Structure 1
Amino acid sequence: MQRLTDEEKLTLKTGAFGAVFMVSNAEPGVLAVFRESFAASGALADASGVVKEALTSGPLPKLPRDSALEVESVVLPALGRAIEILTEKAPQDVPIYRAVVLAAADRTAQAHHGVSPAEADVIERIKGVLDAAG
């Protein structure tokens, strides 16, 4: 297993945190965002190994805040790149990253009155990128 560079860690973090941000943006609501980010942090805490190190250290990713489309254009490629990085440097952690990202996205959606169709759609797009990469 090779160590990840700071840039690679930030890519993993951008994908994971961005996925949560995409889901919480699917059904906007100021109060909901607090509940959702709290729910997602529980899933991120379940990470281990390289994935945990990447998601819990270093700076927070800077995500665009202007439009959902802009967020997706940053987050979905970051998720794909994160899988490529892990496949190359820590292949045993690929399933951990996939599981953590999907659990965080799912917990975020569940946190506010269950999963809405818009949230389910976003989660499917995230899952599609994670499954296609690697």
Structure 2
Amino acid sequence: MSVILTEQDKLTLRTAAYGAVELMTAAAAAGKPGAHRAATDGSIALSSATGLIGHVLAKYPKGAKLNSKTVATLADQVLPVLTAAMSLLNKQAPEEADNFRSTVVVAIKAAAQTHRGEPRPTLADMIRKITGALGAA
């Protein structure tokens, strides 16, 4: 059975995944160098996805309007989209829901690894919030 996702569905998935990386980048940038590395490592992880999710995430979400003036504003945008993406996948492509969740988790952990050892508390808290949004669907 072939899964058909609309362009809006694909934009939701892309916005959620790339938004999570952008959120990690914003949290990493809070007073510390290395934000560009976080964005690069997270994006590489997303572009390494396989299956339907890999095909969807192969394109950056050009139609997404993420406001990254503050981490709080960005979180207000991204966290609900992550939950919406999981809800969409649970309904339309349940076999891909775990793939999406694990892809995003790998990407945010890759973004956090720009700092050797355990992530700083700011990044660890953001990882918790993102994984919470992924599990809320």
With normalisation by structure 2, the TM-score equals 0.87
Partner of 2:122: 118
Runs of 4+ more than 4 Å apart: none
Out of 31, 34, 52, the position equivalent to 1:32 is 34
Taking the TM superposition and a 5 Å limit, the aligned residue runs for 1:1-134 are 1-28=2-29, 32-57=34-59, 59-60=61-62, 61-114=64-117, 115-133=119-137
Please say which of residues 107-116 and 71-80 is displaced more in the overlay.
107-116
Relative contact order higher in (CA < 8 Å, ≥ 6 apart): 1
| SS across alignment from 2:39 | helix
Q: CA RMSD in A?
A: 1.8
Change in Cα spacing, 1:25 to 1:51, as seen in structure 2 (3 Å) is same
SS at match of 1:4: coil
Unaligned runs of 5+ in 2: none
- C-alpha change, 1:20 and 1:32, in structure 2 (3 Å) is same
- TM-score of the superposed pair, with normalisation by structure 1: 0.89
Q: Is the 8 A contact 1:19 1:75 kept in 2?
A: yes
Unaligned runs of at least 5 residues, structure 1: none
